[in-house]
């Protein structure tokens, strides 16, 4: 019985993937660590699909357009227990809260008279 209490249940483990994007201009963007209990690959794929769909990625105070991405690469995947994962979760929460706050303050602005699709010229 003592052995079972010392074993870490698999449900408590977290998969964390470190991912980066390489832009056509040579810039490298380290993306937030992706986390999931069982399918971190699915999380990365959903992120990329959303980036493609919206066309832009907001990271801190910068917008990165999808059409400038050369490739997205998974640098590493770790299996972490809750204590090991805590620093990643704190950074992830702060960054995603900042992004959510940014989008909450955005109000759609109508086009002004004489403004063409893609901006005024």
Contact 28, 18 (CB under 8 A): no
* Per-residue pLDDT tens digits of the chain, which is 121 residues long: 444 444 444 568 889 899 999 999 999 999 878 888 999 999 999 999 999 998 888 777 788 999 999 999 999 999 999 888 888 778 777 777 766 666 665 555 666 665 554 444 4
List of residues 6+ apart from 25 with CB closer than 8 A? 68
Report the largest interatomic distance among the alpha carbons of the chain, rounded to a whole angstrom. 77
Give residue 34's pLDDT: 86
């Amino acid at each position: 019985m003592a052995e079972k209490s010392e074993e870490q249940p698999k449900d408590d483990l977290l998969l964390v993937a470190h991912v980066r994007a390489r832009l056509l201009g040579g810039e490298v963007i380290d993306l937030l660590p992706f986390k999931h209990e069982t399918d971190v690959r699915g999380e990365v794929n959903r992120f990329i699909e959303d980036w493609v769909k919206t066309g832009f990625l907001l990271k801190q105070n910068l917008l990165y357009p999808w059409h400038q991405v050369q490739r997205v690469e998974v640098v590493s995947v770790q299996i972490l227990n809750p204590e090991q994962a805590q620093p990643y979760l704190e950074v992830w929460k702060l960054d995603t809260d900042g992004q959510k706050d940014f989008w909450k303050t955005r109000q759609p602005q109508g086009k002004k008279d004489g403004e063409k699709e893609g901006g005024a010229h």
